[in-house]
Amino acid sequence: MVLVMTHKTTRRRVLMGVGASTTIGVAGCLGGSTGAGGGNGSSGGPNGSGGNSSGGTQQSGGGPLTADGSSTVYPITSNGASVWNSNPPADDEEYWGPGQYGFDTNKRMADFFAGIYGFEASGGSQPPFSVNVGLSHSGTGIEKLMNEQVDIGDSSAPVKEELPERKSYENFTDHVVGVDGQPVVVSKPIYDAGVTKLTGKQLKAIYKGEITDWQNVEGYSGSSKEIQVICRAEGSGTDTAFRANLFGSSDAPIKCDSRIGQNGRV
């Protein structure tokens, strides 16, 4: 799971030091979103704040920091946004507690990190600027990042794998925030017929179309049955990462009988 940013240095460098507190490790982002960031604000968090924090105080940092992209990165970034937007006080050991991280301060979390970069605290629970996270796909998030519609592109794969045809990646920085697990699942009848595990070698042969019948898979004890391969939609971060992890290249051709647009439907 990767957060992708460009190298335009602005106020949004403030989140660089948050790391463990919000799971958003941001080093350099776009100057300011030209759009709304493509999506709903995140929900949940300590005070139920997700998008723009409510309250009467004007945010000192201007517009919100925006992110959009991968559905597998979304739970991490949306949770981080919720914590940031709630701006927990120093005595909140669950969501902040600066002493746990070696910081000597009595400031609220967002106020502390934003203050390092010159942003003034609001004097209340509202952060100096809010964080909004949208939900779409890895490719969509990176495209919006390149179009300066968002500050952060959430991606299931590094930018080099998402944009393999690009000549230069100097304007992008990948920040790994988690490991995207990719389980390979067989149907219950196939499992009951003896296929309780698959090796990497077998998977490669199946996805190359070299093995097309379950009778050619070790352990299978049933009758002849054609293998039906279900994949994620082309262009999705999950599809890109799967090819890169299995074949060593995000461009590796694979055989799919059907492609599904959402992980949950797969």
User: 240, 138 in Cβ contact below 8 A?
Assistant: yes
Alpha carbon distance 77, 63 (integer Å)? 18
Q: Is the pLDDT of residue 39 over 60?
A: no
Percent of the chain, pLDDT > 70?
A: 74
User: 177, 25 in Cβ contact below 8 A?
Assistant: yes
pTM beyond 0.85, yes or no: no
Listing DSSP states for 137-195 in one string gives -HHHHHHHHHTTS-SEEEESS-HHHHSTT-S--TTEEEEE-----------HHHHHTT-
Question: Quick one: tokens of 80?
Answer: 């981080």
Domains in the chain, CATH or no CATH each: 2-9+62-178 (no CATH), 188-260 (3.40.190.10)
Number of C-beta neighbours around residue 70 at 10 A: 32
3-state helix, strand, coil in the chain (%, to 5): 25, 10, 60
Using pLDDT thresholds of 50, 70 and 90, give the confidence band for residue 17: very low
Identify which of 137, 175, 141 has the alpha carbon closest to the alpha carbon of residue 15.
175
Region 25-45: mean pLDDT is 37
Alpha carbon distance 67, 40 (integer Å)? 10
Alpha carbon distance 62, 83 (integer Å)? 19
User: 177, 76 in Cβ contact below 8 A?
Assistant: yes
> Which tens digits make up the pLDDT trace of 89-147?
999 999 999 999 999 999 999 999 999 989 899 888 999 999 999 998 888 898 899 88
The answer to which of 8-17, 64-73, 119-128, 194-203 has the lowest mean pLDDT is 8-17
Identify which of 244, 250, 209 has the alpha carbon closest to the alpha carbon of residue 229.
209
Task: List 135's β-bridge partners, or say none.
Answer: none
Please tell me which residue, 173 or 229, carries the higher pLDDT value. 229
Identify which of 104, 137, 169, 167 has the alpha carbon closest to the alpha carbon of residue 239.
137
Q: Beta 230-232 vs 65-69: how paired, if at all?
A: unpaired
Q: Is the pLDDT of residue 160 over 70?
A: yes
The answer to which of 94-103, 194-203, 241-250, 254-263 has the lowest mean pLDDT is 254-263
